[in-house]
Structure 1
Amino acid sequence: MGGVAVLLSNKKHDKAKAKYQLRYLCRTHMGSDDQAYQSVFQQSDDAGHVGVSLSRSLLHVAGNALKTNITELGPRVLPFSELVLYGWSMIHRKIWTTKKEIYVPNFKKAFEHFCIHAGGRAVIDAVEERLRLSKEDGEASRMTLYRFGNTSSSSVWYELSYLEAKGRVKRGDRVWQIAFGSGFKCNSAVWECISELDPNKQNAWSDRIHLYPVHIPDAADH
């Protein structure tokens, strides 16, 4: 079980001490759809034991939630050139009823770092594929999953700590945290680094960051 505490402030005098500034927060709730609502559900089994049931449609539901979320977030963070390309692909498909795939915006033009909910290897793979991210973009998520397992919503903070310990986050960099939850929910938080971060400052990765990243073999390799 993971746990993270984050101190947020809306006081101007705290800006000098803050590491990040929250730029955007986008929350998508799919609870009105029965399939989405039941994709992650707490219930009792035949023996009366209470547990969490994950449906086979979970990845499909998560994909739809992410699509809805980035449709709202995109216009706020993407450069104009990417919005034009996306808009044109939508118009082209609408007018000519073509089966050509809709253009997926290049979110690397909006963010330097990505913290993907480490709910499982399949979740990270699916988000990387949908957003056309590289393995390096998902490194913090994979290493967090490898070391700590599924720590639920706190995983995105372990991932941010990983990036800090690696010395990758610089002043002015933008970080996109993407998290999922029952309901079904997809949340995006966009942070801008507003201070010079010391990679040697103590955090959850400090004692072993030099050991990462590690190679994580596929199941087929065993």
Structure 2
Amino acid sequence: MKLYVYEHCPFCIRARMIFGLKKVPVELGVIMEGDAETPTRMVGRKVVPILQKEEGVYMPESMDIVHYVDQLDGAPVIEGECDPAIEAWCKENTRAVFNLAIPRFTRADFKELATPAAREAYTQREIKAFGDLDALMANSQTYIDTLSGALSNIEAYMSARNPVSITDFYLFPVLNSLTIVKGFPYTVPLRGYLDHISTSCNVPLFTDKAL
């Protein structure tokens, strides 16, 4: 199988998690930002992640990919519903996370941004979605302060070290985006949670690319 991704994309991180958790071999392919033709040829629209199950058979949608791979061994573990409190936390705070992460993603070293044209296409797409990226960078401390308070509300969950569950497929991709922020004030629960899920699912953090 081959999984087509953007390295920075939280939905792609979500899809990658199940392969590491279930120890299913997968080849990663990176689609360049600005390349609409490749995903459209595969699934009819510009979207990632995309799983190539076999030649000519493709599956989009991150949670569909998660559930498909999870059941391949006949013993699925990612079942049920996301913890309502964590789901609510993500809905309330994802925008603040992205206000920090998105301007840094546009400047960081990702394979999908390896050409000037690809980086420009991505930057323009995010300006359209988020507005002035330089202003977001300038306001970083405001978002850091907001999130530092919000993260305290889920410290019990992050500290529990439970087996990886469906809730983590929603929470980890959001929190992982914070690792692109150089100097973010990690608490012990946050750092422990990120390391726990990263190791359990064999998904790298962005700390080596942090800006």
Say which structure is richer in helix: 2
TM-score (norm 2): 0.31
Say which structure is richer in strand: 1
TM-score (norm 1): 0.29
